[in-house]
Structure 1
Amino acid sequence: MAHKANRYATPAELYISWMNASMLMVETASVMTMRVMGMAGLWSVTSSENDRMMSEKPTAFLDSATAASFATISGKRPDEVMNAALRPLRRKTRANARRLGKRGPLMPGTKTR
C-alpha cells in the first residue's frame, strides 16, 4: 500500500507562516513610518518616493494573488498558500525597509534629500 503524504502542517510549518506574517507587519509599519516622516521632512527620502509608493502596490498585490492562486490550484496546504501569497509582499517590504533605513533621518537644518 502506498504511503499517503501528510496533508497537515506541522507546528514548525505553522510557526514559519506566523513569522512571515509578523515580519510583513513589522516591515510594513517601519516603511510607512519612514515614508510619513519623509513627507514631514524628518526622514531622508528621494523626491520620487511618493510616486514609487503608489506604483509598486498594484504589481506586488497582483504577484501575491497570482502566487496564492497557483499554490491553491496545485493543491497546497493552507499554510503553503499563505506563504506563497506573502512571499512577493515581503520581498517588497523588506527591500523598502532596507533602502529607506539606510537613508536615515534628516539632520536639523539640512534641506537636501
Structure 2
Amino acid sequence: MDIWRVASEATMLAFEAQAVVGYRIMGMAGFWAVTPHENTRMVKEKTNAFTEAGVAVTRAALSGARPDQIAGAGMKPLRQRTKSNAKRLAKRGPKLP
C-alpha cells in the first residue's frame, strides 16, 4: 500500500463515517428507519473496530512494516465497518408516517 492508497482509504473512511453519522442522527430524530437497537450497536461496533485497528497497527509496526502499511492496517477494520454500515443504513430509507 502506498501513500496515495492510504490517502484514498482515509478519504473514503471520512465520507462513509459522515454518512453513517447522518443516518443515525436522522434515525434518533425519527426521520430515518433504523432498528430499535441501533444506538447500542453503534457503541459496541466502535469499541470492537478500534480494538481491531489498534491490534492491526501494533502487529504491522512490530513486524517492521512501512508507515503507509501501518496506517493501512489500522484503517482496514474501520473501513469495513463504515462501508457496511453506510450500505445497510442507506437501504433502510426515510421513516414514512
TM-score (norm 1): 0.83
Q: What are the superposed Cα offsets for residues 19-48 of structure 1, whole Å, 9 maximum, x if unpaired?
A: 000011000000000000000010010000
Runs of 4+ that moved beyond 3 A? none
Counterpart of 2:77?
A: 88
Q: Match for residue 30 of structure 2?
A: 41
Q: Structure with the greater relative contact order (CA < 8 A, sep ≥ 6): 1 or 2?
A: 2
Q: Please point out which of 36, 40, 52 is paired with 1:51.
A: 40
Is 1:15–2:1 an aligned residue pair?
no
Q: CA RMSD in A?
A: 1.0
Q: Of the candidates 70, 73, 87, which is equivalent to residue 59 of structure 2?
A: 70
- The code of the aligned residue for 2:83 comes to R
Where does the alignment leave 5 or more consecutive residues of structure 1 unmatched? 1-8
Say how many residue pairs are matched: 97
User: Structure 2: which amino acid aligns with 1:37?
Assistant: M
Q: CA deviation at 1:14?
A: 1.1
Q: Which structure has the greater CA radius of gyration?
A: 1
Structure 1 distance, partners of 2:57, 2:74, is 5
